[in-house]
């Protein structure tokens, strides 16, 4: 990492390759992180881009396999094809619009366990076509989560996938240690307090570094007590200093500078500001946020529907006979969801210190 990063300027739009790595370094050197927001359709996607423009923050647009399938349409006859085509369609939507929004956007996919590795391979196939057509990849990075498997099989598979990604100027995100939460089978509040499985071991992180660093760029979602979803206060004990131990071990072993690893914070919804700031100081550049932005989208629409209930039951006002078209037009109530989600993403930018930090020229 050099001093050039402080004044980094990149072309607005989707970033990948060297520009992606420069942006990640810029986050770590200047002490902020980017929100990685899960999207499920054009409304949530546009809300994220609007938030980034509003906050003058770069942003990470992310989709899960389920979100990607939903993007393709629930009526699509083939779910596994829908996951691939929906992801590609959402990515192309971002490529089309991101530059106009005047910010840099990292395009990412979310958790892919062993069953979903074929989904990632199929997206890489499309990425290869995109690369030969446009000279760049469709996505900036994919994510593989084999944290439930033994470390060696986790790292072997991630190495195989990274060997496919690196020639496309793409990065991989891997996961070490189990993040708690419904998605991971560490479900109830009782399972969460002081569960050693929730804390990634620095020795495992060093092995990952040694295995992947020669192949291509990678980031690591390490567990430091974080959970997916929102739990009752007091049951989540975050220990961001776990991240520092991993950074220090890799730096000492390989004689590198401070925070050599690019770290990712999973399960960011509902986290304390203090824990977020500590995690950033230990090299976290990306924080996933889904639960809170889903709720924000729903809340915006819910409030509107409650306040205009008649328009969702009849086309004419039962009292006055006047048409209610201006209230049930999908653009009106979907927009309420977008604005509420936009505001929540801007709040995330504030929490992560990314407001006004966009490196877009």
**What is the DSSP secondary structure assignment for residue 315, as one 8-state letter?**
S
Q: How far apart are CA 265 and CA 224, in angstroms?
A: 9
Nearer to Zn ion, 32 or 224 (CB): 224
Residue in 266, 286, 342, 344 binding Zn ion, rule: CB under 5 A = 266
Which neighbouring-strand residues pair with 219? Answer: 173
Q: How far is the CB of 145 from Zn ion (least distance, A)?
A: 6
Nearer to Zn ion, 179 or 340 (CB): 179
* Burial class for 41, CB neighbours closer than 10 Å (0-12, 13-18, 19+): middle
Q: Counting beta carbons within 10 angstroms of the beta carbon of residue 6, is it exposed (0 to 12), middle (13 to 18) or buried (19 or more)?
A: exposed
CB-wise, 72 or 263, nearer to Zn ion?
263
How many residues touch Zn ion (CB under 5 A)?
A: 3
Among 44, 62, 179, 293, binds Zn ion (CB under 5 A): 179
Angle between helix axes 151-165 and 117-134 (nearest 10 degrees) is 20
Residues 279-298 that bind Zn ion (CB under 5 A): none
Do residues 60 and 34 lie in contact, with contact meaning Cβ atoms separated by under 8 Å? yes
Q: How far apart are CA 302 and CA 322, in angstroms?
A: 23
As measured in angstroms, the least distance from the Cβ of 111 to Zn ion is: 6
**4 marked among binding-site residues:** no
Measured between alpha carbons, how far is 8 from 29 in angstroms, rounded to an integer?
11
Site for Zn ion in 55-114 (CB under 5 A): none
Q: Which residue is nearest to Zn ion (CB)?
A: 266
> Which residue of the set 22, 25, 58, 110 is catalytic?
110
Beta strands in the chain (DSSP E): 13-14, 34-38, 59-63, 104-109, 141-144, 171-176, 180-181, 218-222, 227-228, 263-265, 284-289
Question: Is residue 110 flagged as an active site residue?
Answer: yes
Residue 248, annotated as binding a ligand = no
* Residue 268 annotated as binding site: yes
Q: How far is the CB of 108 from Zn ion (least distance, A)?
A: 13
267 annotated binding-site participant: yes
Which of residues 182 and 317 has its CB atom nearest to Zn ion in the complex? 182
Q: In Å, what is the CA distance from 206 to each residue of 24, 27, 250, 281, 286?
A: 20, 22, 6, 19, 20
Judged by CB, which is closer to Zn ion: 101, or 348? 348
Residue positions forming the annotated binding site: 111, 145, 175, 228-229, 266-269, 288-291
Residues in the annotated binding site for Zn(2+): 111, 145, 175, 228, 266
Residues tagged active-site:
110
Q: Which residues bind Zn ion (CB under 5 A)?
A: 175, 179, 266
């Amino acid at each position: 990492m050099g001093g050039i990063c402080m004044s980094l300027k990149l072309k607005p739009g989707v970033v990948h390759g060297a520009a992606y790595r420069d942006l990640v370094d810029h986050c770590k050197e200047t002490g902020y992180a980017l929100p990685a927001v899960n999207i499920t359709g054009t409304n949530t996607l546009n809300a994220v881009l609007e938030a980034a423009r509003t906050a003058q923050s770069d942003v990470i647009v992310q989709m899960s396999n389920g979100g990607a399938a939903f993007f393709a349409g629930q009526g699509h006859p083939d779910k596994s094809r829908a996951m691939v085509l929906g992801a590609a369609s959402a990515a192309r939507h971002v490529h089309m619009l991101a530059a106009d929004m005047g910010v840099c956007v990292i395009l990412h996919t979310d958790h892919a366990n062993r069953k979903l590795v074929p989904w990632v391979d199929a997206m890489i196939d499309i990425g290869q076509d995109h690369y030969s057509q446009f000279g760049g990849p469709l996505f900036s990075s994919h994510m593989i989560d084999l944290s439930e498997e033994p470390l060696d099989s986790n790292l072997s598979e991630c190495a195989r996938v990274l060997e496919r990604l690196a020639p496309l100027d793409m990065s991989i995100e891997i996961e070490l240690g189990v993040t708690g939460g419904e998605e991971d089978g560490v479900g109830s509040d009782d399972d969460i307090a002081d569960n050693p499985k929730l804390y990634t071991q620095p020795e495992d992180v060093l092995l990952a570094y040694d295995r992947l660093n020669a192949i291509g760029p990678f980031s690591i979602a390490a567990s430091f007590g974080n959970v997916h979803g929102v739990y009752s206060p007091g049951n989540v004990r975050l220990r961001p200093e776990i991240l520092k131990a991993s950074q220090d071990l890799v730096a000492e072993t390989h004689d590198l500078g401070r925070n050599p690893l690019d770290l990712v914070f999973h399960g960011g919804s509902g986290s304390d500001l203090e824990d977020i700031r500590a995690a950033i100081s230990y090299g976290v550049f990306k924080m996933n946020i889904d639960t809170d932005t889903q709720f924000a989208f729903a809340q915006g629409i819910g409030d509107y529907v409650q306040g205009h209930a008649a328009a969702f039951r009849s086309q004419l006002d039962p009292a006055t006979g006047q048409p209610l078209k201006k209230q049930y037009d999908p653009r009106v109530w979907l927009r309420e969801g977008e604005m509420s989600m936009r505001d929540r993403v801007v709040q995330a930018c504030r929490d992560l210190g990314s407001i006004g930090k966009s490196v877009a020229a």
